[in-house]
Structures are given as C-alpha cells and as structure tokens.
Amino acid sequence: MSETTYLEAITTTLAESMRADPRVLVLGEDVAEGGPWGATAGLVEEFGAERVRNTPISEAAICGVAIGAAQSGLVPVVEIMFIDFLTLALDQLVNQAAKAHFMSGGQLRVPLVLRTQGGAGQRGGAQHSQSLEAWLTHVPGLKVAMPSTAADAAGLLVAAIADPNPVVLVENKTLYFRREAIPDDHEPVALGSARVVRPGRDATVVALSRLVHESLAAAEELAAEGIEVEVIDPRTLVPLDLETIVESVARTHRLVVAHEAVRMGGFGAELAAEVQAAAFDELDAPVGRVAAPFAPIPFSPPLEDAYLPDRHDVVAAVHALLAR
Amino acid sequence: MTSLDARVGLELLRGMWRIRVFEERVGELTRANEVHGLIHLSIGQEAVAVGVCGQLRVDDVVYSNHRAHGHAIAKGAPLVGVMAELMGRDGGLCHGLGGSMHLVDVEHGLFGATGVVGGNVPLALGSALASRLLGGDSVAVVFFGDGAVQSGIFVESVNLATLWRLPVILVCENNGFAEFTPRSAHTNVERVSDVVAPYGLERETVDGNDIGAVRSVFGRFLEVARGGEGPLLLECLTHRLRGHYEGDPERYREALAAEEWQELDPILRLQRLLGVDGAELEREARDEVERAVELARESPFPSPELTAGLVYAP
C-alpha cells in the first residue's frame, strides 16, 4: 500500500500501461506539458513525443485520429481537458467510435480510452463545470466509468485500456488531490462491478463520483441518529451492475440516487426506473433523488455552493424516505 | 486525355465497367425495393475510385464517404458482399448491419464509409499514425466530396495531418454539388486545393474523368506517402450523373445533354483513347453483377440476435 492522490494514481497507471504495451499512446491538448492538473506529467520524458502527443485545440480531430489509430492497431488514451468540450467531439464519439464494431458486422474494433473530467465547485462557471455523463450512457457501443477514488481511478483505467471497446472515464476535478492509501499493484476493476462502499440496513444510497464522498459523510451523520445507510458506488454506468443495487434494495427497502448532474434526464432517473422494474415490491417508498437543479452552473461562489448537491441533501432525502 | 499503356488501360476500363454496371443495377434494385435505404450512386465518378484504388496494396487503408460503392469495389470488396449488404442480407460485407453508407471490408483494407459528411477524414490520419508508430509502410487514403471541405473537422484534420506530416492522401471528388447545392453557393473558394494551400501540403487538381491523369498524379503521391511522408491532397474534378440519392428529383440542376455527357464520361473517354468499343467488357461486367445479384438474393436476412450481439466487441 502507498499513499497517493487520485491524480497520481492516473499518472502512474498511464506510465505502467505504456511500459507494458508499446501500442498505448496518449494524446490531447497540453498532455506533453502534463495538462492543467498534471495527469500526464512526466510521460513525454519517459516515452517521447511520438507516444505522448500534444494536439491543437481540435477536440473532434483528436477523437477522430484516435479512433482511426485504434482501428489500425494502436491503443490510444485521449484526454479531453473538460467534459464540457466533449460536445465538440460528439460526432466522432457517437457516430464513429461507438458504432464502428456494430456497423461493420464485427469487423472493426475501437480500443479507445477517453479520459475527461467534470464537476463543479471550482468557480469555473457554466462551461467548465458540467456533469454530462448521462448523454454518454444513452449511446450503445460506449462504456462509461466514473471513478470516485484513487484506487478505482487506477483500476478502471487499467480495465479500460484492456477493453476492446471505446471507454469514457469521467473523472472529477474536485477529487484529483484527495489522498488515500491504495495497493501498489493496480489490479483492473472489472467494468460493470459496483462497490458497496459502506454497508447498512435502513436505506440504500447509490451515488456517483463526488457524491459518493458526500453520501459517506451523510451516512456518518445519520449513523449518529441510529440510521444505517448502505452506500453503493456503481463505478461504471455502462455496463451497470444492477444486481448489486437490487440486492441491497431488497434488504433496505429504500433507495436514494445521488449525483451532481441536473435531475432532468440524469442517470438517477435510469437507476430509479431499473430498480422499480426489478424490485417494485421491495420498495417501501418512492425512490429519492439528489441532483442539481435544472439550471446552468452559476459562477458567483455563494450561488455555486447553493447549487451543488451535497451531504445535507442526502441526509434530507434519507429522512424523507424514512418519514413515509 | 492522358496517355496510358494499352494493357493497363484495359484493366482500368474493366474496373470502371464493373462499378458502372453494378451501380446501374443497384439503381434498378432500389426502385424495385430489393435494395434498401438511402442510396448514393457514383455513376460518372468511376475514374477516381479505379485510378486511386487500383494502385493501392491490400494493407493500405481506405476510408470512404456516403457514396462508397465504387471505392469498395475498386479496393477489392467482392461484388456479392457489397450487393448483399445493400439488400440487408447476412451475406453482406457487414452482415447487413451497415448498409450502403457504412460499407466495411477489413480483409481488403476498406476500413469504412461514413454517412456523416467529413466524419472519416481524421480516422484516416489515425490509421496513418498507426502505420508509422507500428513501423509499417502502409498508407491511408480518404475519399470525400467537395461538400466535406466546408466542415470544421476537415480543417482540423488538414492542420493536424500537416503538423504531424502523416502519410495520408486526401482524395477529394469535387463534383461541384454538395447534396443539392452548387459549390458556389457554399463557399467563395472554387478549388479545394486552394482551401488547403496555406498549410503547405503537396496538392494538385486534376480532371477526375481522365483516368490517366488521376492515376499518374496519385501514383506520384503514393510514392511520397509510401516513403512515410505526407499529407497530400488530390482534387479530382468530376461529375455525378445521378442525383444526390436515388429518387432525387434534381430540381436544382439541368440534366446534361447526351452529347455533353459523351464528352465527359470517363469510360467513353478511355475507350476512345484506347480505340476499343468496350462492349465485351460491359457484357462481362453484366454477367458478373447478375451472378452477384442472384447470390445476394439467396442469402438470408441476418438473425435478429445479431443486433444485441454486436453492440460491444468481446
């Protein structure tokens, strides 16, 4: 075990993957300089500019080049600096990468990894803070992961690099400098395996990314009142480990879904629909939802703070379910 | 008309007749509702597909666009595989999951056509990058129309390809119309080779209905790319005889008079150059296409389980 940050876990894993497999390359804006947070720091020194490729600010072309490279035998790891900028590359991701295997009748493969990050809380304003993961889950052919810890950031990245399909890793900028002790061996985390982060008997909270930590804090607070909450991190949205969630709900009979994305059309809606279909008779209350309001993210610090869902919202949602 | 060795000329003529007859048949089968979906024919543009693909190795990678039948056939895709794909049959190149706009034949180096205009240009760059990093000397070629040149992805790709000096050849089929609109209504830049001029890549505009000219310039470009250098852009001025898609009423343009087309038709022009009438080659092509149609008709529709089974690669 060693103490590391979420970001260091990504950097170390990228370096290990590039050492292990000469087909792996990294490309994106400023990656040779390490990027704005340093996720790719030091890679160009070890692997050279052919494999750590700085690109112009051309998100669509970056993705397209990576797709073509993946179809011709490389394993590209693309960095899109902010998920907000993924909008510029959606044609490539949605129309080309996601469908190539299918439309070719299985002839083509796109072993592409796309790392990006979302989330508010850093006064970035409405174009540098969004949580757009639900869009990606709507596209058959893509896999979507959202690591909430350093160990999962490493393990999901290892699994994504080994996967023959396009995988999008949605990191969270506010988690980058969180420290934790993780195993030195970065074992892959199977895509489609949820993690029960904290066991409990009174309600299940399924939380994504930053909200996993907010939900754990909420669980601590609720435990002081004698309410034991089970917190589950699905870790990947596609594929989704529904079994672990349903198994939990069958014990707790109450479910809260929690994410930072806006409520309307958010992934929580899909979770709620799937769970009620699979375990309607187990539910003692309607599924509770913690999410951001249906508004762009405000810049002004007190407004942004008020906008962001947090532990207090999770506590309130659990209380509301138990009051029924 | 550029001169050609007689034997080479006959092979090129054979290649063009195969595409011409195939696509005429596709047009008929579209109207008979045996071929399905949006069908874009390249009748009139065959010299580009044959002049380019005829010089490529099987491991050279071709990306194409929505008007892809000719490129696929010229790159070596079997006629029956293409026809069965257009009919949505299991024996199609893609088991009927792609269709006319998404032909793929990896075995013959056709890595894919796309229905999104301009969408495949960066993929060819990626293939060229892979060739370089994996130590090969295969090249990548991407076909696109003049309509794609006004898309942002085209400019992004030209910039990146020149910056990274990728061994990719950009082949523009400039038929003067982007869907239903003449080029002049979409841009003030008449020649695609002028659009890319500031990037400093080697580029040339040729008469795309003169197969000798296409072949000769592309051959020179291919040598450069084979040596690991690029990118290069070949603009072929051509004419699509049919509408944008089969069924297009073509209200936006006057049909060419028969005499005008006689002058332009790349097949007739090559026949005049070679002093042959082509009837024998046309007959051979009709027989081969008819066999392909029969075989494609015999192929069953794919199993419905394929839909769920091919979303992800195992």
Query: pLDDT by residue (tens digit) across B52-65?
Result: 999 999 999 999 99
Q: Give residue B180's pLDDT.
A: 80
β pairing state of A143-145 and A75-80: unpaired
Give mean pLDDT, residues A112-132.
97
B196 DSSP assignment: T
This model of the complex carries an ipTM of 0.96
Q: Give residue B262's pLDDT.
A: 85
Taking CA atoms, A302 is separated from A121, A294, B179, in Å, by: 10, 17, 51
Nearest chain B residue to A105 by CA distance is B94
Name the residue facing A102 among B123, B156, B311 (closest C-beta).
B311
How far is B7 from A318, CA to CA, in rounded Å? 82
How far is B237 from A118, CA to CA, in rounded Å? 46
Mean pLDDT, rounded, of chain B: 95
Q: How confident is the model at residue A108 (pLDDT cuts 50, 70, 90)?
A: very high
Six token digits for residue B47: 């010299």
Query: pLDDT by residue (tens digit) across A160-173?
Result: 999 999 999 999 99
A220 is catalytic: no
Kindly report the three-state secondary structure assignment for every residue of A303-319: HHHHHCCCHHHHHHHHH
How far is A69 from B63, CA to CA, in rounded Å? 13
CATH 3.40.50.150 fits B6-295, yes or no: no
Q: What percentage of chain A exceeds 70 in pLDDT?
A: 100
Please tell me whether residue B113 adopts helix, strand or coil conformation: strand
Q: Give residue A157's pLDDT.
A: 98
How far is B221 from B267, CA to CA, in rounded Å? 24
Closest C-alpha to B88, from B309, B273, B306, B268:
B306
- Asked if B303 has any chain A CB less than 8 Å from its own CB, the reply is no
Six token digits for residue A110: 């796109």
Six token digits for residue B150: 């006004």
Cross-chain residue pair B311–A141, CB shorter than 8 Å: yes
Q: Give residue B251's pLDDT.
A: 84
Q: How confident is the model at residue B253 (pLDDT cuts 50, 70, 90)?
A: confident
Distance of CA A238 to the CA centre of its chain: 10
What chain A holds in terms of domains, given with CATH numbers, is 2-182 (3.40.50.970), 195-322 (3.40.50.920)
Give mean pLDDT, residues B137-149.
97
Give mean pLDDT, residues B251-255.
81
Contacting residues of A for B133, CB less than 8 Å apart:
25, 50-51, 69, 74
Q: How confident is the model at residue A208 (pLDDT cuts 50, 70, 90)?
A: very high
Give mean pLDDT, residues A9-13.
97
User: Chain A to chain B, count of Cβ pairs less than 8 Å apart?
Assistant: 153
Cβ atoms of A123 and A303 within 8 Å: the answer is: no
The DSSP H or E segment spanning B112 is strand B110-113
Sequence-distant (6+) residues with CB within 8 A of A111 are: A70, A75, A161, A163, A164, A165, A166
**Beta carbons within 10 angstroms of residue B285's beta carbon:** 23
Please tell me whether residue B145 adopts helix, strand or coil conformation: strand
Indicate if the pLDDT at residue B184 is higher than 90.
Answer: no
Q: Give residue B249's pLDDT.
A: 85
Six token digits for residue A253: 């009979």
Identify the active-site residue in A8, A79, A101, A128.
Answer: A128
Name the residue facing B310 among A91, A102, A110 (closest C-beta).
A102
Q: How confident is the model at residue B102 (pLDDT cuts 50, 70, 90)?
A: very high
Q: How confident is the model at residue A102 (pLDDT cuts 50, 70, 90)?
A: very high
Q: Give residue B246's pLDDT.
A: 85
Q: What percentage of chain B exceeds 90 in pLDDT?
A: 87
Give mean pLDDT, residues B132-138.
97
Please list the residues that pair with B233 across neighbouring strands: B170, B203
Residues in chain A: 324
Q: What percentage of chain B exceeds 70 in pLDDT?
A: 100
How far is A67 from A97, CA to CA, in rounded Å? 6
Cross-chain residue pair A61–B160, CB shorter than 8 Å: yes
Name the residue facing A66 among B102, B126, B140 (closest C-beta).
B126
- Asked if B144 has any chain A CB less than 8 Å from its own CB, the reply is no
Mean pLDDT, rounded, of chain A: 97
Give mean pLDDT, residues B254-263.
83
Side-chain half-sphere of A119: how many Cα atoms within 13 Å? Answer: 21
- Asked if B199 has any chain A CB less than 8 Å from its own CB, the reply is no
Cβ atoms of A286 and A224 within 8 Å: the answer is: no
- Asked if B102 has any chain A CB less than 8 Å from its own CB, the reply is yes
β pairing state of A52-54 and A24-28: parallel
Assign residue A253 a region: left if phi > 0, alpha if psi is -120 to 50, beta otherwise?
left
Query: pLDDT by residue (tens digit) across B4-13?
Result: 999 999 999 9
Cross-chain residue pair B129–A74, CB shorter than 8 Å: yes
How far is B183 from A206, CA to CA, in rounded Å? 54
Assess whether the previous peptide bond of A239 is cis (omega < 30° from 0). yes
Cross-chain residue pair B112–A95, CB shorter than 8 Å: no
Q: Per-domain residue ranges for chain B?
A: 6-295
Task: State if pTM tops 0.80.
Answer: yes
Query: pLDDT by residue (tens digit) across A85-94?
Result: 999 999 999 9
Cross-chain residue pair B160–A65, CB shorter than 8 Å: yes
Q: Give residue B244's pLDDT.
A: 82
Give mean pLDDT, residues A104-111.
98
Cβ atoms of A264 and A294 within 8 Å: the answer is: yes
Query: pLDDT by residue (tens digit) across A16-57?
Result: 999 999 999 999 999 999 999 999 999 999 999 999 999 999
A247 is catalytic: no
Closest C-alpha to A323, from A285, A277, A273:
A285
Closest C-alpha to A121, from A78, A176, A79, A169:
A176
Give mean pLDDT, residues A265-286.
98
Closest C-alpha to A144, from A168, A161, A114:
A168
Per DSSP (E only), the strands in chain A are 2-5, 24-28, 52-54, 75-80, 113-118, 143-145, 167-172, 179-182, 195-198, 203-207, 229-233, 236-238, 255-262, 288-292
Cross-chain residue pair A104–B130, CB shorter than 8 Å: no
Cross-chain residue pair A65–B122, CB shorter than 8 Å: yes
